[in-house]
Structure 1
Amino acid sequence: MGNDGAGTAGGSAQREYERRRANDEAKLRAEWGRFGGIAVALSNEKQSTRAWASGANGERIVGARLDAMASETVRVLHDRRIPGSRANIDHVVVTPAGVWVVDAKRYKDQRPALVAEGGILRRRIEKLVVGRRDQTKLVDGVLGQVARVSSVVGDQVPVRGMLCFVEADWPLFGGSFAVRGVDVVWPKKMVAGIGRAVGVGVDVTAVSNCLRRAFHAA
Protein backbone atom coordinates (compact mmCIF):
# COMPACT_ATOMS: atom_id res chain seq x y z
CA MET A 1 0.00 0.00 0.00
CA GLY A 2 2.99 2.35 -0.03
CA ASN A 3 2.58 3.11 3.68
CA ASP A 4 5.69 1.46 5.17
CA GLY A 5 7.36 3.55 7.89
CA ALA A 6 4.37 5.85 7.95
CA GLY A 7 4.35 6.30 11.72
CA THR A 8 1.57 5.62 14.21
CA ALA A 9 -1.40 7.96 14.35
CA GLY A 10 -1.72 9.45 17.83
CA GLY A 11 1.40 7.67 19.06
CA SER A 12 3.20 10.60 20.66
CA ALA A 13 -0.01 12.02 22.16
CA GLN A 14 -0.78 8.63 23.73
CA ARG A 15 2.72 8.42 25.20
CA GLU A 16 2.39 11.92 26.63
CA TYR A 17 -0.95 10.98 28.19
CA GLU A 18 0.56 7.89 29.80
CA ARG A 19 3.53 9.90 31.09
CA ARG A 20 1.29 12.54 32.65
CA ARG A 21 -1.05 9.97 34.15
CA ALA A 22 1.88 8.13 35.73
CA ASN A 23 3.24 11.40 37.16
CA ASP A 24 -0.18 12.35 38.55
CA GLU A 25 -0.54 8.96 40.22
CA ALA A 26 2.99 9.10 41.64
CA LYS A 27 2.28 12.50 43.22
CA LEU A 28 -0.92 11.20 44.81
CA ARG A 29 0.84 8.12 46.19
CA ALA A 30 3.63 10.27 47.63
CA GLU A 31 1.12 12.67 49.21
CA TRP A 32 -1.14 10.01 50.72
CA GLY A 33 1.47 7.43 51.70
CA ARG A 34 -0.05 4.03 52.51
CA PHE A 35 -3.43 5.34 51.39
CA GLY A 36 -2.02 6.27 48.00
CA GLY A 37 -3.71 3.42 46.16
CA ILE A 38 -7.10 4.47 47.51
CA ALA A 39 -6.41 8.11 46.62
CA VAL A 40 -5.57 7.13 43.05
CA ALA A 41 -8.70 5.00 42.77
CA LEU A 42 -10.98 7.76 44.07
CA SER A 43 -9.41 10.73 42.26
CA ASN A 44 -10.66 12.05 38.95
CA GLU A 45 -8.14 12.34 36.17
CA LYS A 46 -6.89 15.88 35.57
CA GLN A 47 -8.52 17.56 32.59
CA SER A 48 -5.10 18.59 31.28
CA THR A 49 -4.01 14.94 31.37
CA ARG A 50 -7.26 13.58 29.93
CA ALA A 51 -7.00 16.01 27.01
CA TRP A 52 -3.96 14.12 25.71
CA ALA A 53 -5.90 10.85 25.63
CA SER A 54 -8.75 12.57 23.82
CA GLY A 55 -6.34 14.07 21.32
CA ALA A 56 -4.68 10.72 20.68
CA ASN A 57 -8.06 9.14 20.04
CA GLY A 58 -8.98 11.88 17.58
CA GLU A 59 -5.71 11.35 15.71
CA ARG A 60 -6.35 7.61 15.52
CA ILE A 61 -9.83 8.16 14.09
CA VAL A 62 -8.54 10.54 11.42
CA GLY A 63 -5.53 8.33 10.77
CA ALA A 64 -7.73 5.29 10.13
CA ARG A 65 -9.75 7.24 7.56
CA LEU A 66 -6.59 8.33 5.79
CA ASP A 67 -5.02 4.87 5.91
CA ALA A 68 -8.09 3.55 4.10
CA MET A 69 -7.15 5.86 1.21
CA ALA A 70 -3.52 4.72 1.04
CA SER A 71 -2.30 3.24 -2.25
CA GLU A 72 0.61 3.53 -4.64
CA THR A 73 -0.66 6.99 -5.57
CA VAL A 74 -1.77 8.10 -2.09
CA ARG A 75 0.87 8.05 0.63
CA VAL A 76 0.00 8.77 4.24
CA LEU A 77 2.41 9.71 7.03
CA HIS A 78 1.44 10.05 10.69
CA ASP A 79 2.83 11.78 13.77
CA ARG A 80 5.91 13.46 12.29
CA ARG A 81 8.41 15.41 14.37
CA ILE A 82 9.14 18.99 13.37
CA PRO A 83 12.91 19.57 13.61
CA GLY A 84 13.87 22.10 16.27
CA SER A 85 10.40 22.05 17.81
CA ARG A 86 8.48 20.10 20.45
CA ALA A 87 5.46 20.12 18.14
CA ASN A 88 4.53 17.46 15.62
CA ILE A 89 2.47 17.16 12.46
CA ASP A 90 -0.47 14.81 12.97
CA HIS A 91 -0.88 13.60 9.38
CA VAL A 92 0.60 14.27 5.94
CA VAL A 93 -1.06 13.03 2.75
CA VAL A 94 0.70 13.01 -0.63
CA THR A 95 -1.25 12.53 -3.86
CA PRO A 96 -0.68 13.46 -7.52
CA ALA A 97 -2.60 16.67 -6.68
CA GLY A 98 -0.22 17.80 -3.94
CA VAL A 99 0.35 17.54 -0.20
CA TRP A 100 -2.17 17.93 2.63
CA VAL A 101 -1.12 18.75 6.17
CA VAL A 102 -3.92 17.51 8.42
CA ASP A 103 -4.29 18.49 12.07
CA ALA A 104 -6.81 16.34 13.95
CA LYS A 105 -8.87 17.91 16.73
CA ARG A 106 -11.43 16.27 19.00
CA TYR A 107 -13.89 18.86 20.29
CA LYS A 108 -16.84 16.70 21.27
CA ASP A 109 -20.27 18.27 20.64
CA GLN A 110 -18.80 21.71 19.89
CA ARG A 111 -19.47 23.48 16.61
CA PRO A 112 -16.65 25.00 14.55
CA ALA A 113 -17.61 28.22 12.80
CA LEU A 114 -16.08 30.92 10.64
CA VAL A 115 -16.40 34.45 11.99
CA ALA A 116 -15.41 37.29 9.65
CA GLU A 117 -14.88 40.85 10.81
CA GLY A 118 -14.30 43.97 8.75
CA GLY A 119 -14.57 44.14 4.98
CA ILE A 120 -15.27 46.95 2.47
CA LEU A 121 -13.74 49.81 4.46
CA ARG A 122 -11.77 47.71 6.92
CA ARG A 123 -9.41 44.81 6.41
CA ARG A 124 -11.28 41.52 6.54
CA ILE A 125 -10.21 39.34 9.45
CA GLU A 126 -11.23 35.68 9.59
CA LYS A 127 -11.43 33.83 12.89
CA LEU A 128 -12.12 30.23 13.84
CA VAL A 129 -14.57 29.87 16.70
CA VAL A 130 -15.26 26.48 18.31
CA GLY A 131 -18.23 26.52 20.62
CA ARG A 132 -17.94 30.05 21.95
CA ARG A 133 -14.16 30.24 22.08
CA ASP A 134 -11.81 31.88 19.61
CA GLN A 135 -9.55 29.07 18.41
CA THR A 136 -7.83 30.91 15.56
CA LYS A 137 -4.54 29.77 17.06
CA LEU A 138 -5.31 26.33 15.58
CA VAL A 139 -5.32 27.88 12.10
CA ASP A 140 -2.03 29.63 12.85
CA GLY A 141 -0.55 26.30 13.89
CA VAL A 142 -1.57 24.58 10.66
CA LEU A 143 -0.28 27.46 8.55
CA GLY A 144 3.06 27.16 10.32
CA GLN A 145 3.17 23.44 9.52
CA VAL A 146 2.23 24.12 5.90
CA ALA A 147 5.13 26.57 5.65
CA ARG A 148 7.56 23.99 7.05
CA VAL A 149 6.37 21.31 4.62
CA SER A 150 6.46 23.75 1.69
CA SER A 151 10.05 24.65 2.50
CA VAL A 152 10.95 20.97 2.10
CA VAL A 153 8.99 20.02 -1.04
CA GLY A 154 9.50 23.30 -2.91
CA ASP A 155 7.24 25.81 -4.60
CA GLN A 156 6.25 23.47 -7.44
CA VAL A 157 4.30 21.14 -5.12
CA PRO A 158 0.96 22.49 -3.83
CA VAL A 159 0.62 22.19 -0.04
CA ARG A 160 -2.71 22.75 1.69
CA GLY A 161 -3.70 22.68 5.35
CA MET A 162 -6.70 21.00 6.94
CA LEU A 163 -8.20 21.05 10.41
CA CYS A 164 -10.25 17.89 10.86
CA PHE A 165 -12.66 18.01 13.80
CA VAL A 166 -13.78 14.67 15.21
CA GLU A 167 -17.14 14.27 17.00
CA ALA A 168 -17.89 17.98 16.65
CA ASP A 169 -21.41 19.38 16.41
CA TRP A 170 -21.56 19.71 12.64
CA PRO A 171 -24.85 20.82 11.03
CA LEU A 172 -26.84 18.37 8.90
CA PHE A 173 -26.22 20.41 5.74
CA GLY A 174 -23.12 22.33 4.72
CA GLY A 175 -20.83 23.10 7.60
CA SER A 176 -17.34 22.91 6.12
CA PHE A 177 -15.47 26.13 5.41
CA ALA A 178 -11.98 27.58 5.09
CA VAL A 179 -10.18 30.06 7.33
CA ARG A 180 -7.24 31.86 5.72
CA GLY A 181 -6.86 29.02 3.26
CA VAL A 182 -7.08 26.22 5.84
CA ASP A 183 -9.98 23.82 5.24
CA VAL A 184 -12.07 23.08 8.33
CA VAL A 185 -13.78 19.72 7.90
CA TRP A 186 -14.90 16.44 9.48
CA PRO A 187 -13.35 13.03 8.59
CA LYS A 188 -15.72 12.10 5.75
CA LYS A 189 -15.42 15.57 4.22
CA MET A 190 -11.64 15.39 4.57
CA VAL A 191 -11.48 12.16 2.58
CA ALA A 192 -13.81 13.54 -0.10
CA GLY A 193 -11.83 16.76 -0.44
CA ILE A 194 -8.51 15.00 -0.85
CA GLY A 195 -9.98 12.35 -3.15
CA ARG A 196 -11.56 14.75 -5.63
CA ALA A 197 -8.54 17.03 -6.01
CA VAL A 198 -7.28 17.15 -9.59
CA GLY A 199 -3.80 15.76 -10.15
CA VAL A 200 -1.02 18.11 -11.23
CA GLY A 201 1.68 15.52 -11.80
CA VAL A 202 3.24 15.39 -8.34
CA ASP A 203 5.75 12.54 -8.01
CA VAL A 204 4.12 10.84 -5.03
CA THR A 205 7.00 8.47 -4.26
CA ALA A 206 9.71 11.12 -4.43
CA VAL A 207 7.77 13.68 -2.39
CA SER A 208 6.69 11.21 0.31
CA ASN A 209 10.25 9.91 0.67
CA CYS A 210 11.52 13.47 0.93
CA LEU A 211 9.01 14.19 3.70
CA ARG A 212 9.91 10.99 5.55
CA ARG A 213 13.54 12.09 5.65
CA ALA A 214 12.74 15.65 6.71
CA PHE A 215 10.08 14.81 9.32
CA HIS A 216 10.88 11.63 11.20
CA ALA A 217 8.22 9.56 12.93
CA ALA A 218 7.67 10.82 16.48
Structure 2
Amino acid sequence: MRLRYAGACRVCGVELPAKVEAVYERTTKTVRCVSHDVYPAVEPAVVEVVEPAVVEVVAPGVVEVVESGTAGASARREFERRKAKREERIRTKHPKLGGLMLAVSEEQQSTTAWDIGALGEEKLGKGLNRLASDRLRLLHDRRIPRSTANIDHLAVTASGVYVIDAKKYRGRPHLKIEGGLFRPRVERLIVGSRDCTKLVDGVLKQVDVVRGLLDDDVPVHGVLCFVEADWPLIGGTFTTRGVQTLWPKKLYPKLQAEGPFTADAVAEIHLRLAHALRPA
Protein backbone atom coordinates (compact mmCIF):
# COMPACT_ATOMS: atom_id res chain seq x y z
CA MET A 1 0.00 0.00 0.00
CA ARG A 2 0.99 3.66 -0.25
CA LEU A 3 1.69 5.00 3.24
CA ARG A 4 -0.45 7.90 4.39
CA TYR A 5 2.09 8.83 7.05
CA ALA A 6 5.83 8.54 7.44
CA GLY A 7 7.33 5.59 9.29
CA ALA A 8 10.41 3.38 9.34
CA CYS A 9 11.04 -0.17 8.14
CA ARG A 10 10.83 -2.60 11.05
CA VAL A 11 13.52 -4.76 9.43
CA CYS A 12 16.27 -2.38 8.36
CA GLY A 13 15.20 0.87 10.07
CA VAL A 14 15.22 2.89 6.82
CA GLU A 15 12.86 5.88 6.96
CA LEU A 16 9.81 5.50 4.73
CA PRO A 17 8.26 8.84 3.76
CA ALA A 18 4.54 9.32 3.23
CA LYS A 19 3.11 8.10 -0.12
CA VAL A 20 5.89 5.56 -0.70
CA GLU A 21 4.85 1.95 -1.36
CA ALA A 22 5.45 -0.34 1.62
CA VAL A 23 3.97 -3.28 3.50
CA TYR A 24 1.76 -2.31 6.46
CA GLU A 25 1.37 -5.01 9.10
CA ARG A 26 -1.93 -4.43 10.86
CA THR A 27 -1.32 -6.78 13.78
CA THR A 28 1.79 -4.94 14.97
CA LYS A 29 0.98 -1.55 13.39
CA THR A 30 4.41 -1.45 11.78
CA VAL A 31 5.69 -1.02 8.24
CA ARG A 32 8.49 -2.62 6.23
CA CYS A 33 10.10 -2.21 2.83
CA VAL A 34 8.44 -4.18 0.04
CA SER A 35 11.77 -5.93 -0.60
CA HIS A 36 11.83 -7.55 2.84
CA ASP A 37 9.95 -10.84 2.52
CA VAL A 38 12.08 -12.68 5.10
CA TYR A 39 12.69 -11.29 8.57
CA PRO A 40 16.14 -11.46 10.14
CA ALA A 41 16.78 -13.54 13.21
CA VAL A 42 17.52 -10.51 15.39
CA GLU A 43 14.56 -8.70 16.84
CA PRO A 44 14.22 -5.30 15.13
CA ALA A 45 13.03 -2.11 16.74
CA VAL A 46 9.27 -1.69 16.39
CA VAL A 47 8.05 1.69 15.18
CA GLU A 48 4.35 2.38 15.54
CA VAL A 49 2.60 4.36 12.83
CA VAL A 50 0.73 7.20 14.54
CA GLU A 51 -1.69 9.68 12.95
CA PRO A 52 -0.43 12.35 12.47
CA ALA A 53 3.20 11.88 13.46
CA VAL A 54 6.76 13.04 13.03
CA VAL A 55 9.69 10.61 12.99
CA GLU A 56 12.47 11.68 15.38
CA VAL A 57 15.96 10.16 15.35
CA VAL A 58 16.74 9.90 19.06
CA ALA A 59 20.18 8.28 18.60
CA PRO A 60 21.99 6.46 15.80
CA GLY A 61 19.83 3.49 14.85
CA VAL A 62 17.02 4.49 17.25
CA VAL A 63 13.87 5.98 15.77
CA GLU A 64 10.95 7.35 17.76
CA VAL A 65 7.59 8.42 16.39
CA VAL A 66 6.28 11.61 17.98
CA GLU A 67 2.52 12.01 17.92
CA SER A 68 1.72 15.60 16.93
CA GLY A 69 -1.91 15.27 17.99
CA THR A 70 -5.14 16.40 16.35
CA ALA A 71 -6.13 20.05 16.66
CA GLY A 72 -9.42 20.51 18.51
CA ALA A 73 -9.78 16.80 19.30
CA SER A 74 -10.72 17.11 22.97
CA ALA A 75 -13.14 20.00 22.37
CA ARG A 76 -14.76 18.06 19.53
CA ARG A 77 -15.18 14.98 21.75
CA GLU A 78 -16.75 17.05 24.53
CA PHE A 79 -19.22 18.63 22.08
CA GLU A 80 -20.23 15.24 20.70
CA ARG A 81 -20.59 13.83 24.23
CA ARG A 82 -22.87 16.65 25.35
CA LYS A 83 -24.89 16.50 22.14
CA ALA A 84 -25.39 12.73 22.43
CA LYS A 85 -26.33 13.00 26.11
CA ARG A 86 -29.01 15.61 25.34
CA GLU A 87 -30.40 13.52 22.49
CA GLU A 88 -30.56 10.43 24.69
CA ARG A 89 -32.29 12.37 27.47
CA ILE A 90 -34.96 13.82 25.17
CA ARG A 91 -35.63 10.56 23.32
CA THR A 92 -35.93 8.67 26.61
CA LYS A 93 -38.33 11.21 28.09
CA HIS A 94 -40.36 11.62 24.88
CA PRO A 95 -40.19 8.35 22.91
CA LYS A 96 -42.72 9.43 20.29
CA LEU A 97 -41.94 13.12 19.88
CA GLY A 98 -38.23 13.08 20.72
CA GLY A 99 -37.05 13.18 17.10
CA LEU A 100 -39.31 16.13 16.29
CA MET A 101 -38.27 18.01 19.42
CA LEU A 102 -34.60 17.58 18.51
CA ALA A 103 -35.25 18.76 14.95
CA VAL A 104 -36.95 22.01 15.97
CA SER A 105 -34.87 22.86 19.04
CA GLU A 106 -31.33 24.19 19.32
CA GLU A 107 -28.40 23.02 21.40
CA GLN A 108 -27.68 24.86 24.62
CA GLN A 109 -25.11 27.63 24.41
CA SER A 110 -22.87 25.74 26.83
CA THR A 111 -22.79 22.87 24.30
CA THR A 112 -22.37 24.92 21.12
CA ALA A 113 -19.45 26.74 22.75
CA TRP A 114 -17.47 23.49 22.55
CA ASP A 115 -18.28 23.15 18.86
CA ILE A 116 -17.21 26.74 18.18
CA GLY A 117 -14.00 26.22 20.12
CA ALA A 118 -13.22 23.03 18.23
CA LEU A 119 -13.81 24.75 14.89
CA GLY A 120 -11.36 27.52 15.82
CA GLU A 121 -8.67 25.05 16.85
CA GLU A 122 -9.23 22.90 13.76
CA LYS A 123 -9.01 25.86 11.41
CA LEU A 124 -5.81 27.21 12.94
CA GLY A 125 -4.37 23.68 13.16
CA LYS A 126 -4.74 23.20 9.41
CA GLY A 127 -2.93 26.47 8.74
CA LEU A 128 -0.12 25.59 11.13
CA ASN A 129 0.31 22.10 9.65
CA ARG A 130 0.99 23.64 6.25
CA LEU A 131 4.01 25.42 7.75
CA ALA A 132 5.57 22.33 9.35
CA SER A 133 9.24 21.71 8.59
CA ASP A 134 12.45 20.54 10.28
CA ARG A 135 12.70 23.92 12.04
CA LEU A 136 8.99 24.34 12.74
CA ARG A 137 7.48 21.38 14.57
CA LEU A 138 4.01 21.26 16.05
CA LEU A 139 2.05 19.71 18.89
CA HIS A 140 -1.73 20.03 19.06
CA ASP A 141 -4.21 19.68 21.91
CA ARG A 142 -1.84 18.74 24.72
CA ARG A 143 -2.98 17.93 28.25
CA ILE A 144 -1.49 19.96 31.08
CA PRO A 145 -0.32 17.54 33.81
CA ARG A 146 -2.44 17.41 36.98
CA SER A 147 -5.05 19.65 35.36
CA THR A 148 -8.23 19.46 33.30
CA ALA A 149 -6.92 22.24 31.04
CA ASN A 150 -5.09 21.76 27.77
CA ILE A 151 -2.85 23.71 25.40
CA ASP A 152 -4.37 24.23 21.94
CA HIS A 153 -1.15 24.42 19.93
CA LEU A 154 2.60 24.39 20.54
CA ALA A 155 5.00 25.49 17.81
CA VAL A 156 8.68 24.71 18.31
CA THR A 157 10.60 27.01 15.99
CA ALA A 158 14.06 28.35 15.26
CA SER A 159 13.28 31.37 17.44
CA GLY A 160 11.76 29.52 20.40
CA VAL A 161 8.53 27.90 21.54
CA TYR A 162 5.12 29.46 20.91
CA VAL A 163 2.20 28.60 23.18
CA ILE A 164 -0.85 29.35 21.04
CA ASP A 165 -4.43 29.62 22.28
CA ALA A 166 -6.92 29.64 19.39
CA LYS A 167 -10.21 31.54 19.77
CA LYS A 168 -13.17 31.84 17.40
CA TYR A 169 -14.80 35.01 18.72
CA ARG A 170 -16.85 37.67 17.00
CA GLY A 171 -16.07 41.35 17.44
CA ARG A 172 -12.87 43.38 17.33
CA PRO A 173 -10.14 42.59 19.87
CA HIS A 174 -8.59 45.68 21.41
CA LEU A 175 -6.65 46.69 24.48
CA LYS A 176 -8.24 48.97 27.07
CA ILE A 177 -5.81 50.62 29.47
CA GLU A 178 -6.97 52.13 32.76
CA GLY A 179 -4.98 53.96 35.39
CA GLY A 180 -1.61 55.57 34.84
CA LEU A 181 0.09 58.36 36.73
CA PHE A 182 -1.83 58.24 39.99
CA ARG A 183 -3.46 54.81 39.78
CA PRO A 184 -2.03 51.37 39.01
CA ARG A 185 -1.98 50.65 35.29
CA VAL A 186 -4.50 47.94 34.36
CA GLU A 187 -4.71 46.37 30.91
CA ARG A 188 -7.92 44.68 29.83
CA LEU A 189 -8.50 42.63 26.71
CA ILE A 190 -11.83 43.53 25.14
CA VAL A 191 -13.39 41.63 22.22
CA GLY A 192 -16.34 43.58 20.87
CA SER A 193 -17.99 44.59 24.14
CA ARG A 194 -16.87 41.53 26.13
CA ASP A 195 -14.15 41.66 28.76
CA CYS A 196 -11.90 38.70 27.85
CA THR A 197 -8.97 39.51 30.13
CA LYS A 198 -9.17 36.00 31.63
CA LEU A 199 -7.96 34.63 28.29
CA VAL A 200 -4.62 36.37 28.87
CA ASP A 201 -4.41 34.87 32.36
CA GLY A 202 -4.97 31.43 30.84
CA VAL A 203 -2.17 31.82 28.30
CA LEU A 204 0.25 33.05 30.97
CA LYS A 205 -0.43 29.93 33.03
CA GLN A 206 0.24 27.74 29.99
CA VAL A 207 3.48 29.61 29.29
CA ASP A 208 4.62 29.00 32.86
CA VAL A 209 3.96 25.26 32.47
CA VAL A 210 5.95 25.04 29.23
CA ARG A 211 8.78 27.22 30.54
CA GLY A 212 9.14 24.90 33.51
CA LEU A 213 9.81 21.98 31.14
CA LEU A 214 12.62 23.65 29.20
CA ASP A 215 16.07 25.08 29.74
CA ASP A 216 16.35 28.74 30.65
CA ASP A 217 17.86 29.66 27.27
CA VAL A 218 14.74 28.60 25.33
CA PRO A 219 12.36 31.57 24.84
CA VAL A 220 8.67 30.77 25.37
CA HIS A 221 6.14 33.12 23.74
CA GLY A 222 2.45 33.35 24.62
CA VAL A 223 -0.02 33.96 21.79
CA LEU A 224 -3.77 34.55 21.60
CA CYS A 225 -4.87 33.93 18.00
CA PHE A 226 -8.40 35.03 17.05
CA VAL A 227 -9.21 33.19 13.83
CA GLU A 228 -12.36 35.02 12.71
CA ALA A 229 -12.45 38.28 14.65
CA ASP A 230 -13.20 41.70 13.15
CA TRP A 231 -9.61 42.86 12.66
CA PRO A 232 -8.89 46.27 11.03
CA LEU A 233 -7.24 46.52 7.62
CA ILE A 234 -4.19 48.28 9.10
CA GLY A 235 -2.59 47.49 12.44
CA GLY A 236 -4.70 45.77 15.05
CA THR A 237 -2.17 43.47 16.69
CA PHE A 238 -1.00 44.25 20.22
CA THR A 239 0.77 42.71 23.20
CA THR A 240 -0.61 42.68 26.72
CA ARG A 241 1.42 41.40 29.69
CA GLY A 242 3.75 39.69 27.25
CA VAL A 243 0.99 37.83 25.36
CA GLN A 244 0.81 38.62 21.66
CA THR A 245 -2.75 39.07 20.35
CA LEU A 246 -3.18 38.66 16.61
CA TRP A 247 -4.70 36.57 13.81
CA PRO A 248 -3.31 33.66 11.73
CA LYS A 249 -1.75 35.66 8.87
CA LYS A 250 0.15 37.76 11.40
CA LEU A 251 1.20 34.70 13.38
CA TYR A 252 2.65 32.60 10.55
CA PRO A 253 5.62 34.91 9.70
CA LYS A 254 6.62 34.98 13.38
CA LEU A 255 6.79 31.19 13.45
CA GLN A 256 8.84 31.08 10.25
CA ALA A 257 11.34 33.74 11.35
CA GLU A 258 15.03 32.87 11.61
CA GLY A 259 16.49 32.14 15.02
CA PRO A 260 19.40 30.55 16.86
CA PHE A 261 17.99 27.02 17.11
CA THR A 262 19.11 24.43 14.57
CA ALA A 263 16.89 21.68 13.18
CA ASP A 264 18.44 19.22 15.67
CA ALA A 265 17.77 21.57 18.59
CA VAL A 266 14.17 22.08 17.45
CA ALA A 267 13.71 18.30 17.23
CA GLU A 268 15.11 17.81 20.74
CA ILE A 269 12.83 20.46 22.27
CA HIS A 270 9.86 19.08 20.36
CA LEU A 271 10.54 15.57 21.68
CA ARG A 272 10.89 16.78 25.27
CA LEU A 273 7.56 18.62 25.13
CA ALA A 274 5.83 15.68 23.45
CA HIS A 275 6.92 13.39 26.31
CA ALA A 276 5.87 15.81 29.05
CA LEU A 277 2.58 16.98 27.51
CA ARG A 278 0.55 14.04 26.24
CA PRO A 279 -2.36 14.34 23.76
CA ALA A 280 -5.59 15.47 25.43
TM-score above 0.5: yes
**Which of the numbers 248, 253, 261 marks the counterpart of 1:192?**
253
| Separation of aligned partners in 2, 1:201 and 1:21 | 44
| Greater mean alpha carbon deviation, residues 37-46 or residues 161-170 | 37-46
| Separation of aligned partners in 1, 2:149 and 2:255 | 24
1:122-137 paired onto structure 2 within 5 Å: 122-137=183-198
Calculate the aligned-residue CA RMSD, in Å. 1.4
Shift of 1:201: 2.7
Match of 2:266 in 1: 204
Aligned-partner residue type, residue 116 of structure 1: I
| Separation of aligned partners in 1, 2:250 and 2:256 | 10
Describe the SS at the equivalent of 2:184. strand
**Which of the numbers 45, 53, 66 marks the counterpart of 2:128?**
66
Match of 1:23 in 2: 85
**Which of the numbers 18, 40, 52 marks the counterpart of 2:102?**
40
Higher relative contact order (CA 8 A, sep 6+): 1
CA deviations 1:129-176 (Å, max 9, x no partner) are 111111100000000000000000122110010000011111111001
Shift of 1:93: 0.3
**Which of the numbers 75, 93, 99 marks the counterpart of 1:13?**
75
| Separation of aligned partners in 1, 2:72 and 2:261 | 30
Match of 2:32 in 1: none
Aligned-partner residue type, residue 261 of structure 2: G
1:107 aligns with 2:169: yes
CA contact (8 A) 2:222 2:244 kept: yes
| Separation of aligned partners in 1, 2:216 and 2:195 | 31
TM-score normalised to the size of structure 1?
A: 0.95
Give the structure with the larger helix fraction: 1
Match of 2:177 in 1: 116
| Separation of aligned partners in 2, 1:83 and 1:35 | 44
Aligned-partner residue type, residue 153 of structure 1: L
Shift of 1:31: 2.5
Unaligned runs of 5+ in 1: none
CA deviations 1:179-210 (Å, max 9, x no partner) are 111000111111122223x4133610110000
Aligned-partner residue type, residue 158 of structure 1: P
1:171 aligns with 2:259: no
Shift of 1:120: 2.4
Describe the SS at the equivalent of 2:162. strand
CA contact (8 A) 2:74 2:141 kept: yes
Aligned-partner residue type, residue 181 of structure 1: G
| Separation of aligned partners in 2, 1:201 and 1:41 | 54
| Separation of aligned partners in 2, 1:29 and 1:182 | 46
Match of 1:182 in 2: 243
Describe the SS at the equivalent of 2:81. helix
Could you list the structure 1 runs, at least 4 aligned residues long, displaced by more than 3 angstroms after superposition.
Answer: 1-4
> Between Structure 1 and Structure 2, whose CA radius of gyration is higher?
2
Percent identity between matched residues is 51
Aligned-partner residue type, residue 105 of structure 1: K
| Greater mean alpha carbon deviation, residues 137-146 or residues 31-40 | 31-40
Shift of 1:24: 1.1
Unaligned runs of 5+ in 2: 1-5, 7-52, 55-65
Aligned-partner residue type, residue 179 of structure 1: T
| Separation of aligned partners in 2, 1:192 and 1:124 | 31
CA contact (8 A) 2:136 2:255 kept: no
| Separation of aligned partners in 2, 1:182 and 1:90 | 15
TM-score normalised to the size of structure 2?
A: 0.74
| Separation of aligned partners in 2, 1:154 and 1:65 | 28
